[in-house]
Amino acid sequence: MSSAALNKFQASLVGARVLASFHGEVSTVSSNQIFTDQCLLKAAIAQAVGCWEGYIEAALPEFVSKTRVQAHRKAWTLIVQFESLVSKLSNELNTPNWDKCRDLIVNVTGMDPYGSWIWTPRFLNQTDTKSFFNGILDVRHSFAHGFAVPMGVPGPLMPGQLDPAYLIDSISCLEHFATITDSLLEHELTHRHGCTTGWN
C-alpha cells in the first residue's frame, strides 16, 4: 500500500509527461523550434521536481500522523508538538536536493534512506545517482531563476541543452525516489512503530 502523498505525487507527475508530449510541436508564439522545445523540457523538469518536493512535504507529516496512533497517552502533547514542527520543517523545504531531503527524513523518522537511494536502472552506486539527482535540481533551479541550463549537469546528450531522453530519465529517477522512499517509510511504520497496517 502506498501513502496518500505518493498517490498525489503520481497523479501530479502526469503534468510533466503532458508537457513533454508537446516536444516538437510548432508554437504560435515563437518560430524558434529549439527555443520552444527547451522551454517545454525545462517546464516539465520544474513540474517533476515540484512533484518530488510536494511528496516530501506531504509524506513526512503523514508518517508522523500514523505514528501518533501508537503513541502513549502521556506523550500525546509531545506528539502534537512534533507534528507541528515536522509540518513547519517540511514546508520550509525550498530546494529538495539529495542532502536536504535525506537530512529531513533522518531527522524526522530516524531512518536513513542512503542505502536504498540508488537508481539501479542507470547507476550502480549512490555517488552517481546523487550527481544525476542533484543535476535535475540544478536544471529546475536555473529555469526558475531565468538562467541557462548548467553545462556540468550529467545526462543531457549536449551540455547545456535538454533533450527528451534526459527528461524521461529525470521523471523516472524522481518517480523511483518517491516510490522507494515511500516503501522505506512504510517499513519503518510497520516494523519500528508497530503500525501493522502501514500507510492504511
List the pLDDT tens digit at each of the 200 positions of the chain.
Answer: 899 999 999 999 999 999 999 999 999 999 999 999 999 999 999 999 999 999 999 999 999 888 876 666 556 566 777 777 888 888 788 889 999 999 999 988 889 999 999 999 899 999 999 999 999 999 999 999 999 999 999 999 999 999 999 999 999 999 999 999 999 999 999 988 888 888 98
pLDDT of residue 72: 63
Query: Rounded CA gap, 98 and 83, in Å?
Result: 23
pTM: 0.91
- The residues near 148 (Cβ < 8 Å, ≥ 6 apart) are 142, 160
- CB 83 within 8 Å of CB 62: no
Q: What is residue 114's predicted lDDT score, i.e. its pLDDT?
A: 95
A 10 A CB-CB count for 180 gives 16
Sequence letter at residue 62: E
